[in-house]
């Protein structure tokens, strides 16, 4: 499990947008702005979205069963952090409820969405501005 240093941990709890980069089936990057939450206990970033979005469709395992990779990058002024790892889709009701509650604490409360899923990025690499480097 990946742990962030104290400066990085503070930064990923501040109210900022990030960009999520996933790969389309043809290998080209798909980059979209997102909100996310960081679960320090699990070393996981979570993004809520609808199951029909391109980002959710890009997060399905390949034909060999391997999980795809993604990069989540948050920037604010001269500070930035990129969280990289495997990405997967979860439609588990408990994980969705937890992600929605975490989102409400960091950003705002979301309305109901029966198509909501969670994109879970299990982080195994972090890059950050010098200010926040490990």
Q: Domain of 36: which CATH number?
A: 2.30.110.10
Do the domain assignments include residue 23? yes
SS3 label, residue 4? coil
Evaluate if residue 72 carries a pLDDT over 90.
yes
**Averaged over 121-133, what is the pLDDT?**
87
At 80, is the secondary structure helix, strand, or coil?
A: strand
Asked if residue 122 belongs to a domain, the reply is yes
Query: How many structural domains does the chain have?
Result: 1
Within a domain: 43 = yes
Asked if the structure places residue 1 within a domain, the reply is no
Which domain does 103 fall in, by range?
6-132
- pLDDT for residue 130 is more than 90: no
pTM above threshold 0.85: yes
Q: Are residues 70 and 85 in contact, defined by beta-carbon separation less than 8 angstroms?
A: yes
User: Does 68 fall in a domain?
Assistant: yes
């Amino acid at each position: 499990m990946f742990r962030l240093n104290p400066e990085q941990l503070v930064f990923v709890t501040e109210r900022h947008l990030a960009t999520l980069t996933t790969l389309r089936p043809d290998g080209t990057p798909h980059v979209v702005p997102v909100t996310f939450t960081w679960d320090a206990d699990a070393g996981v970033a979570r993004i809520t979205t609808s199951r029909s979005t391109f980002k959710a469709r890009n997060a399905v395992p390949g034909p060999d069963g391997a999980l795809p990779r993604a990069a989540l990058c948050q920037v604010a002024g001269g500070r930035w952090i990129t969280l990289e790892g495997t990405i997967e889709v979860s439609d588990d009701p408990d994980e969705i409820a937890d992600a929605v509650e975490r989102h409400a604490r960091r950003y705002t409360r979301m309305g109901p969405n029966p198509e909501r899923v969670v994109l879970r990025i299990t982080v195994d690499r972090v890059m950050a501005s010098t200010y926040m480097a490990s």
